[in-house]
Amino acid sequence: MTSSMADTFPGSTRARVLDLIRTRGQASRVELAAATGLTPGTITNAVRGLVDDRLVREAGRVPSDGGSPRRLLELDPRAAYSLGVQMDRSTSSIVLADFTGRILAEDSVRGAGEDPPDVVLTAIAGAVTDLLDATGVPKTSVMGVGLVTHGPQDQGRGMVLGTRPTPAWSHYPLTDTLSDAVDLPVLLENDATAAALGEQWLGEVTSDSFGVLYLASGLGGGVVNGGEVYRGPSFNSVEIGHITIDADGPLCDCGNRGCVEATSGTAAVVLRAMTEGVLPGRLSLSGERDRRLADFQLIAQAAHTGDPQALELVRSAATGLGHAAVTLVNLFGLDTVVLAGPGFSVAGSELRDGITRVLHEAAFSRELAPVDVRLSVHGSIAAALGGALLVLRSGLPTSPTFHA
């Protein structure tokens, strides 16, 4: 089922019409024809089918210049639902969205740590079932699950290809396993790409072209260009975390040396803090590998309240992240960067200020216009929501049992 969903993305006339109405909230048939370039007749036929299938409904009339009033269309929020799961080493977030893309409920569960994938996916499947039970949404109305995690990925096969967090994850059938466990279609997406989609949807970014730095256990990147997510030929983009910023720097989980993730990511900050005399005791850092994002947030909290040693660590990380932002902006020609993910949820303003400073000093376009740096106000749920949106946009369910 996973691959058939992916095959219909970005989809048929029906899918395009649904996506336009979803994005605009309400739209008339005339507006849909103008936006798609399709003929009024084609739009009328597509809308008739969507209304018959109870996916779209009339939403009233608005006056029109000289002619008959335009009849507005909207999605039926209860026509279908979608789940998004952002799976990270430190914590995983789950959102349930209705057919319009509105978040109905969210939950978080313990992250993957270094557990084997079957254990992690079983826990996620349980949380998904609990969330559906708690909201009373029947599984037969759920289109599927967008599973969002780090790369590199083979999205067609639903696998992570690298050996992180442990070799057991490499080529493990993630989507097939989760699909069997929850009895729903599952598709796989890169966390930063999903965060870019989620940020765009949540309306914090007015530009239709922007980059995302996604800071969680790792550091990911995403680019939206002209409203479309950038996808390279291999689907393993935008791997901003593994650019070298110090060729003699520390060894990275990826096996390379001096990656920005290894010098300036959340785990790197925690590893440096653990060597800083009294800091681990003063901040009650656990030092455990599975708890690095939590430890980072303790350090970020201390920095935010003025602890000078913690602030120095956060500022140093911000400089490294700033160089990553410069690279993202220079290569993709962007003027807006969104800082997203749980790594930015505590000391976001301190990190933002440091990243902004480096961008204003070093971005190639600084002579033209300053880069706009925005802090996501949605924390870790933007990526999970992006996963749910991908499912909503992936095409229409064809299962005869779809409507509950």
Give the total of residues touching its own copies (CB under 8 A).
47
Left, alpha or beta for 96 (phi > 0: left; psi -120 to 50: alpha)?
Answer: beta
Q: Six-digit token pair at 294?
A: 């939590």
For the chain, what is the total number of helices (H) and then of strands (E)? 14, 15
Stretch that binds its own copies, among 63-71, 88-96, 106-114, 218-226 (CB under 8 A): 218-226
- Number of residues in the chain: 404
2 is a site residue for its own copies (CB under 8 A): no
Three-state DSSP string of 344-356: HCCCHHHHHHHHH
Q: How far is the CB of 380 from its own copies (least distance, A)?
A: 23
Left, alpha or beta for 317 (phi > 0: left; psi -120 to 50: alpha)?
Answer: alpha
108 is a site residue for its own copies (CB under 8 A): no
Q: b vs e for 102-118, b when ≥16 Cβ sit within 10 Å of the residue's Cβ?
A: ebeebbbbebbbebebe
Stretch that binds its own copies, among 15-23, 76-84, 116-124, 324-332 (CB under 8 A): 324-332
187 is a site residue for its own copies (CB under 8 A): no
Q: What's the distance, CA 214 to chain centroid?
A: 8
Residues 60-89 that bind its own copies (CB under 8 A): none
Among 312, 333, 377, 399, binds its own copies (CB under 8 A): 333
Residues 365-394 that bind its own copies (CB under 8 A): 365, 367-368
327 is a site residue for its own copies (CB under 8 A): yes
Stretch that binds its own copies, among 125-133, 198-206, 220-228, 347-355 (CB under 8 A): 220-228
Among 3, 166, 330, 349, binds its own copies (CB under 8 A): 330
Among 27, 187, 197, 238, binds its own copies (CB under 8 A): 238
Q: How far is the CB of 236 from its own copies (least distance, A)?
A: 5
396 is a site residue for its own copies (CB under 8 A): no
Among 53, 290, 335, 353, binds its own copies (CB under 8 A): 335
Q: How far is the CB of 166 from its own copies (least distance, A)?
A: 14
Sign of the CA dihedral 65, 69, 70, 76?
Answer: positive
Q: How far is the CB of 241 from its own copies (least distance, A)?
A: 8
Of 212, 195, 190, nearest to 338 by C-alpha is: 212
Instruction: Give one DSSP letter per residue of 191-221, joined into a string.
Output: HHHHHHHHHHHTT---SSSEEEEEESSSEEE
Measured from the CB atom, the residue of 251 and 377 that comes closer to its own copies is 251
Instruction: Give one DSSP letter per residue of 173-196, joined into a string.
Output: -HHHHHHHHHTS-EEEEEHHHHHH
316 is a site residue for its own copies (CB under 8 A): no
Measured from the CB atom, the residue of 75 and 243 that comes closer to its own copies is 243
Measured from the CB atom, the residue of 226 and 306 that comes closer to its own copies is 226
Q: Cα dist. 213→181, 223, 300, 323, 386 in Å?
A: 32, 9, 17, 11, 15
Instruction: Give yes or no for a cis peptide into 165 (omega within 30° of 0).
Output: yes
Q: How far is the CB of 183 from its own copies (least distance, A)?
A: 31
Angle at 132 between CA 145 and CA 171, to 5 degrees: 30
Among 115, 199, 239, 253, binds its own copies (CB under 8 A): 239
Stretch that binds its own copies, among 134-142, 279-287, 307-315, 356-364 (CB under 8 A): 356-364
Task: Specify the amino acid at residue 315.
Answer: R
Phi first, then psi, for residue 246 (nearest 5°) are -155, 100
Coil, helix or strand at residue 86:
strand
237 is a site residue for its own copies (CB under 8 A): yes
172 is a site residue for its own copies (CB under 8 A): no
Measured from the CB atom, the residue of 71 and 357 that comes closer to its own copies is 357
Q: In the complex, which residues of this chain contact its own copies (CB under 8 A)?
A: 151-152, 161-163, 207-209, 221, 225-226, 230-240, 242-245, 247, 254, 256-257, 319, 323, 326-328, 330-335, 361-362, 364-365, 367-368
